[in-house]
Structure 1
Amino acid sequence: MVDGTRIADVEAVPEVGSYLFTAEDAFTNERELILVPCERDPGVEAWVNECTHENQRFDRGDGAAMRDGQIICPKHGSMFDACSGACDNGEAAGTSLPGVDVTVEDGGVFLTDDNYTYLHDGGVADDDGPDSTSHIGF
C-alpha cells in the first residue's frame, strides 16, 4: 500500500496534455501542480505548473501544450522534457522544472512528496496566478 494521497486514476492523465491539481507546499502556500504522461516508468510524472523562466502557468485549466513528449511554455515556447523536466532551448534553456514525487500503483497516481499536501483537483481557486501575454498558438 502506498503512503500518499490518491490524486487521480492513471487513465485521467491525458496522452497529450496534463492533469491539473492543487497542493499546499511546506510553507502553506497553495501551488498548482501537473501530472503529465512520460514514456518511462511509471508512465506519469508531476511538476510544478510554472515555467522556470517567468511566472507562466503551463496548464491554465485546459491542459498544458505538449509536443513530442515535451511541455511547452505558452509565453516564449521553451520546451521541457516531460520525463526529466529539463529544458535545452529558448529562454528557459539550462533549467529544470521542480519535480514532485508521485507513485503509480493499482491504476492510481498518488502524491508521495513530503513537501506537498494534496488539496483538490484543478487550479488554485483565485485568479491571481500568472498570465501569458504571448500570441503563440498551439
Structure 2
Amino acid sequence: MTVGERIAPVDEVPEETTVLFTVREVATDERTEGILVRSNGTITSWLNYCQHLTHIRLDKGSGAGLRDGEIVCTNHGAMFDADTGQCTYGPCEGAYLNALDVTIENDGVYLTDDAYEFVALGPAETDDLDLTSTSNVEF
C-alpha cells in the first residue's frame, strides 16, 4: 500500500522541464508550490523558489528550464543541481533548494513529506492582489 498522495504519473514528468504542483504546509496551513524534476533517471522534488530571492519562482507556470542536469532560475541565472538542489552558479552559490520528500511507486510519484499535503497540480491559488514591483534590480 502506498503512503502519501499521488502527484503525477512517472511518465508525465518530462526530462527538459518541471511539473508544478501545490502543497499545503501542515503546521501553518499555508499553500506553496513544489516542482518535480527528472534528472539522471530519478525524480526529485523541491519547493518552487530560488534561494537568492525567495519571492522568485523557478517554475512560473510553464515549467522551469533544465540545462545539463541543472534547474535554471531565469530571473538572475542561478543554476541548481537537479539531484541535490545545490546552487552551483549565481548569487546564491552554495545554498540549497528546500526538498519535498517524494517516492516512486506503481508508476506514480507520491508526496511522502509529513510536513506537507498535496493539494493539486498547477500553481497555488492566491487571493492577494500584489501590485508591488517584482524587479530584482538592487539599488
Same fold (TM over 0.5): yes
- 5+ unaligned residues in a row in structure 1: which ranges? none
Q: Secondary structure, in 3 states, of the residue corresponding to 1:11?
A: helix
SS in 2 for 1:58: coil
Q: What is the 5 A alignment of 1:1-138?
A: 1-25=1-25, 26-39=27-40, 43-54=42-53, 55-126=55-126, 133=135
Q: Which amino acid aligns with 1:50?
A: Y
Task: Give the structure with higher Rg (CA).
Answer: 2
Letter in 1 for 2:38: P
Give the CA deviation at 1:131: 8.0
Q: Secondary structure at the match of 1:24?
A: strand
RMSD: 1.9
Quote the Cα distance in structure 1 between the aligned partners of 2:74 and 2:9.
Answer: 27
Q: Deviation at 1:124?
A: 0.9
Larger mean CA deviation between 118-127 and 92-101 belongs to: 118-127
Identical positions, percent:
42
Matched residue type, 2:115: N
The residue type equivalent to 2:45 in the other structure is A
The number of residue pairs the alignment matches comes to 132
Q: Distance in 2 between matches of 1:61 and 1:127?
A: 17
Q: Which runs of 4+ in 1 moved over 4 A?
A: 127-134
Residue 88 of structure 1 deviates from its aligned partner by: 2.2
Deviation at 1:15, TM superposition (A): 1.2
